[in-house]
Amino acid sequence: MKTLTGAQMMCEALIAEGVDVMFGYPGGAIMPFYHALPEYPQLRHILVRHEQAAGHAAEGYARTSGKVGVCVATSGPGATNLVTAIADAMMDSIPIVAITGQVVTSLIGKDGFQETDVTGITQPITKHNYLVTDVRDLPRVFKEAFHIARTGRPGPVLIDVAKDTQNARGVFEYPESVDLPGYKPNYDGNRRQIKEAANLLNQAKKPLIMAGHGILLGHASVELREFAEKTGIPVITTLLGISCIPEDHPLSLGMPGMHGWVHVNRAIQECDVLFTIGARFDDRVTGKLDTFARNAKIIHVDIDPAEVGKNVITAVPIVGDAKRVLENLTEIVNANEHSEWLNHIRDIQATRSKRQRDPESGMFTPHHVYAEFTRIMQGEFRVCTDVGQHQMWAAQLIEYMKPHTHITSGGLGTMGFALPAAMGVQVACPNEEVWAIAGDGGFQMNLQELATVVQESLPLKICIINNGYLGMVRQWQELFHERRYSATPMWSPDFIKLADAYGIPGVRVERAEDVAEAIQQARSTNGPFLIEFVVEREVNVYPMVAPGASISDMFEDPNEVEIEDVVAVK
């Protein structure tokens, strides 16, 4: 009988799972795998410049393609460099499989060179993980890993393979199914509960839908829209839910939470039924919990039973897949309209403006950049953001029209995410326009990936919103720490020269009137392009709820123009 090495089995397993690309970095303990890789030309390997970037790129790939992203690293430092990305994937429920090499079996536990207990380290930040020391286990482990990563509430799975196991030979028979008696995700919501939810929604006078990442992960955008349109219920979208409904849809209201819109947070506080689907009531959404949605009965749909009832008291819990539950619910719920309620929220919205007064310094605000993005792109692009002020503005100010066009690090809030994640997005969507938007701080956390962008000919458009500060921390220092700008002013290199060193063309924009032209120039450039927007240094993200405060207590931008006085939110 024909035998394969463990390394060959790993490649065969990847192919069997439909993998065509992976992001990785070789090293001692994973060398047998890399030795086998050239025998499988259908497996594209993208060499990153740091393992963290491999993880984020796999995430970016998974976040757009809906397939499982794969990243590869060696033992020890290679594996520990993956940790941030794995934690990121865990928090945002992203299906990735991380493959790491491990020292030879005889050295495990002996502090061998580049040995790290990576299954131990990643235990709380993976959905599941494996250490494989017997080549006969490899096919089963790969089958299970991909199954676990992509089903139920998706998440990262790590497979640590000892070097001698990669070299050992065995018969390769890839299992057709998994045998996991302790893992049976529930997809169909309980019929009775769905009926109860429908009753509650039928009676509601001021209902509200809060749609989260689960809509995108469950590919339920169409179903969400049909449900909202039949019931006439307005939709708010959490940070990770953004793009699950076209933002110009008459029922789409925008983002709630710490930097959500006033009218959205007000809608939460006034609604009588809050139908939440695929969202987990993060503290950045709820603010002070006991003041959140006080007037509402909450219906919570989630595929993860542990999320239901974790943070808020739920009137109707439904454990199931977003798509199936919405289909069932739309079938039985009454057609309705809530124009009075919707108009009321729109009235609140109309009193607020997204326009900014131009600063006296003569510099321009980041708002110009985002306004131009929306105007020029018409929704025909995918945006990866980093973490901080620019991320909140990108969530607030850019209009997203199609699912999976807004990709960001939500739960973990990982600076340095945008560039490597955008690489993964570009690989998943080679013919689409992909933008990485980062601040000057976050960009410098993973800028080494410019080399990967060039080596792989990824036509990424990179946008740096440079305010010379770690802007969000500076904003908190301004508002809550007596303006003590401790360790937030930040010097940066000449980003255009830096890009040039990598062979990437770029332009620095210092005047508002040049913003549109720069964006157009980036779009018309065949290949990667970098724009540095040098913006007004001390602009804050508004509206804002102070950490730990109620979402009823928002403070608004003193620099906004055309604000009419409205009654303070109760």
Binding positions for another protein, rule: CB under 8 A: 119-120, 123-124, 127-129, 131, 148, 179-183, 304-306, 309-310
Catalytic-labelled residue, pool 17, 51, 449, 532 = 51
Tokens of 367: 């708002």
Catalytic annotation on 349? no
Tokens of 314: 């739920």
Q: Least distance in Å: CB of 106 to another protein?
A: 17
Q: Which of 92, 79, 104, 80 is nearest to 6 (CA)?
A: 104
Spatial neighbors of 488 by CB under 8 A, at least 6 apart, are 469, 470, 471, 473, 474, 477
Catalytic annotation on 401? no
Q: Least distance in Å: CB of 155 to another protein?
A: 10
Q: Least distance in Å: CB of 114 to another protein?
A: 21
Q: Least distance in Å: CB of 199 to another protein?
A: 25
Catalytic-labelled residue, pool 114, 193, 349, 448 = 114
Q: How far is CA 160 from CA 29, 98, 341, in A?
A: 10, 8, 54
Tokens of 325: 């539950």
Q: 3-class SS at 271? A: coil
Q: Least distance in Å: CB of 220 to another protein?
A: 22
From CA 467, how far away is CA 155, in angstroms rounded? 35
Q: Least distance in Å: CB of 304 to another protein?
A: 7
End-to-end CA distance of the chain: 75
Q: Least distance in Å: CB of 569 to another protein?
A: 30
Choice between 124 and 558, CB closer to another protein: 124
Catalytic-labelled residue, pool 59, 115, 127, 163 = 163
Angle at which helix 138-150 crosses helix 6-16, to 10 degrees, equals 30
Choice between 72 and 319, CB closer to another protein: 319
From CA 9, how far away is CA 11, in angstroms rounded? 5
Choice between 149 and 498, CB closer to another protein: 149
Q: 64, 428 in Cβ contact below 8 A?
A: yes
Q: Least distance in Å: CB of 307 to another protein?
A: 9
Choice between 106 and 123, CB closer to another protein: 123
Catalytic-labelled residue, pool 90, 255, 472, 554 = 472
Q: Least distance in Å: CB of 181 to another protein?
A: 6
Choice between 134 and 347, CB closer to another protein: 134
Q: How far is CA 370 from CA 83, 201, 273, 354, 355, in A?
A: 32, 36, 33, 11, 11
SS3 track for 392-425: HHHHHHCCCCCCCCEECCCCCCCCCCHHHHHHHH
Choice between 130 and 443, CB closer to another protein: 130
Spatial neighbors of 469 by CB under 8 A, at least 6 apart, are 441, 485, 488, 489, 490, 537, 538
Spatial neighbors of 497 by CB under 8 A, at least 6 apart, are none
* Residue 341 C-beta-side C-alpha neighbours within 13 Å: 25
Choice between 116 and 129, CB closer to another protein: 129
Choice between 317 and 388, CB closer to another protein: 317
Q: 366, 396 in Cβ contact below 8 A?
A: no
Q: Least distance in Å: CB of 306 to another protein?
A: 4
Catalytic annotation on 340? no
Pairing of strands 554-555, 544-545: antiparallel
From CA 157, how far away is CA 97, in angstroms rounded? 5
Residue type, 239: L
From CA 121, how far away is CA 281, in angstroms rounded? 27
Choice between 108 and 262, CB closer to another protein: 108
Choice between 148 and 239, CB closer to another protein: 148
Q: 3-class SS at 14? A: helix
Q: Least distance in Å: CB of 185 to another protein?
A: 10
Catalytic-labelled residue, pool 113, 203, 331, 455 = 113
Catalytic annotation on 113? yes
Q: How far is CA 212 from CA 217, 254, 415, 469, 555, in A?
A: 9, 12, 22, 31, 24
Angle at 297 between CA 294 and CA 300, to 5 degrees: 115
Choice between 179 and 482, CB closer to another protein: 179
Q: 528, 454 in Cβ contact below 8 A?
A: yes
Catalytic annotation on 33? no
Q: Which of 333, 220, 304, 238 is nearest to 276 (CA)?
A: 238
Supply the residues annotated as catalytic: 51, 113-114, 163, 472
